A and B are shown apart, each in its own frame.
Chain A
Amino acid sequence: MTLLSRLAAAALLTLGVAAAPADSPVNVQEPEGFHTGPQQGYTPPTLKGAVVLDIDGLDRVVATGKAVLIDVALADRRPAGMAPDKPWLPAHRSVPGAIWMPNAGAAPLDPAHENLFLARVAELTGGDKARPIVTFCHPDCWGSWNAGKRLVQAGYTAVHWFPTGIEGWQERHETAVLKEDPAWAARSTNAAQR
């Protein structure tokens, strides 16, 4: 990256400080629409139109046996510059039974991918907009917030957001290795994950 673009990025960040909340976990405001900044960062305590869950809440929702759990955590990619003879064996540990659609909480999201995401959720919920859905990724991750927002906007009425995500789950429960949802994996992915 050129020095100029680096300076521009730094300037943008400086400008952003006035509008965006400080780098602090308290008083993070909900954005009007999606959060389009880096997915990693402090998130608000609320998501309009959705219920925010702690682990007790998640356990209760899971216990109903009806919830669709959607994990949007990013997939690990082999780093550029790593020696080719090094074993690269990423395994995604998450909530057992969840559907893993990495980066489905990106914003903006390629319209084709957004349609695929919504079509997949429609399939998973059997077209029942009142079916409980839980979105999650990691703590301090806007991806699951955005994914929840996307489902609220699509008219789902029992959207739940579990902000502590995989780490919140593994504090109490065992994790399982998840494979990427096959339908989601079939999308074309030219863009780097953000």
Chain B
Amino acid sequence: MGVIPPHLPYQRRHAMKPFATALALSLTIACPTLAFAAGASDTDAERLARWNEIRTSIFGDKAVQPTETLVKVDAPVRALDAALVPITLTMPEPGKVAGVSLVIDDNPSPYAANITFGPAADPSEIKLRVRVNNYTNVHAVVRTKDGGLFETAKFVKASGGCSAPMGMSDEEAMKGMGDMRMKFAEGPHGAKSTEATLMIRHPNFSGMQMNQITRDYTPARYIQKVVVSQGARNILTLDGDISIASNPVINFAFLPEGTAPVTVVASDNQDGRWEHSFPVPSPSN
């Protein structure tokens, strides 16, 4: 039998093992016929059955139509760090969009995020970072203003993200919990829309991470709700989950009006609640 290579690229504990990538490449070039693995059609059927199960648990009997125009999911095909997989949702017809849901099919808790847009939103693009437990389809489901549901998916290769320890003690991971920063940039629609990056310091413990010293699972502590507004106008409301990466970062765009600051109210599942305001840059910038 062959000598075992040190490690395949695997992100359960380590963001990257540089020496592993070359090995993995050399291993994946030769791809012999499957000995007794399920055929592709079986696998596709299994993945579809999985999606149907999740879809029903979230949306009930409502029809969810496939779409190639209302929403697109961008993610690295192979993620470097399964605990920090960047996802971009692009919605080219923002005027039609009321909200969008992100589902990571093979995560044990698949419903990663649900975003509802308010009147001050520009729902053209949302970016966030998630944990991926297994090679999986990632679904985005758009809710249109007329009540329709439309889905698209992308297959992502990453593994072990839900249980990856943070590489520090729980106490250290919770330092400064609830601190926030926001950066502004010119949005996709020029002067009309402003792009914002919200960073929240929070471990977002998945409840599947084991403390390597005590061998106890750190209880789930995750951001459950984030409400972003400018003045009285809501930009978006995000319902989060344990599949959101630690120290959540959310990119979004909004339609600024006047000089009111952008306010963020974040709350977690253990009654943590934090509120911060950020002055909006003047349009001349």
A interface residues, Cβ below 8 angstroms from B = 1, 6, 9-10, 13, 25, 38, 40-41, 45, 51-57, 59-63, 65, 76-83, 86-91, 93, 95-97, 138-140, 160, 163-164, 166-168, 170-177, 192, 194
Is there a chain A Cβ closer than 8 Å to B40's Cβ? Answer: yes
CB-nearest residue of chain A relative to B133? A76
The 6 closest A-B pairs by CB, nearest first: A79-B207, A57-B1, A90-B108, A79-B220, A81-B220, A76-B108
A54-B4, A170-B135 are contacts. A10–B213 as well, Cβ < 8 Å? yes
Residues A51 and B1 in contact in the complex (CB < 8 Å), given A6-B214, A81-B270, A138-B12: yes
Q: Which residues of B contact A168 (CB under 8 A)?
A: 8
Question: 1/0 per position for B24-38, CB-CB distance to A under 8 A?
Answer: 100110011011111
Complex Cα spacing A90 to B42, Å: 19
The distance in angstroms between the C-alpha atoms of A175 and B109, with both chains bound, is 19
Contacts across chains A and B counted by CB atoms under 8 Å: 163
Min C-beta distance of A44 to chain B, whole Å: 10
The answer to whether A63 and B27 touch across the interface, beta carbons within 8 angstroms, is: no
Please determine whether A172 and B28 come into contact, CB atoms closer than 8 angstroms. yes
The answer to whether B28 and A171 touch across the interface, beta carbons within 8 angstroms, is yes
Q: Is B208 an interface residue (CB 8 A)?
A: yes
Instruction: Convert B1-21 into 0s and 1s, putting 1 for each residue whose CB lies closer than 8 angstroms to a CB of A.
Output: 111111110101100010000
B124: chain A residues at CB < 8 Å are none
Q: Is the CB of A177 within 8 A of B50?
A: yes
Enumerate B147-173 residues with CB–CB distance to A below 8 Å. Answer: 159-160, 162
- Tell me which residues across on chain B come within 8 A of A41, comparing CB atoms: 212
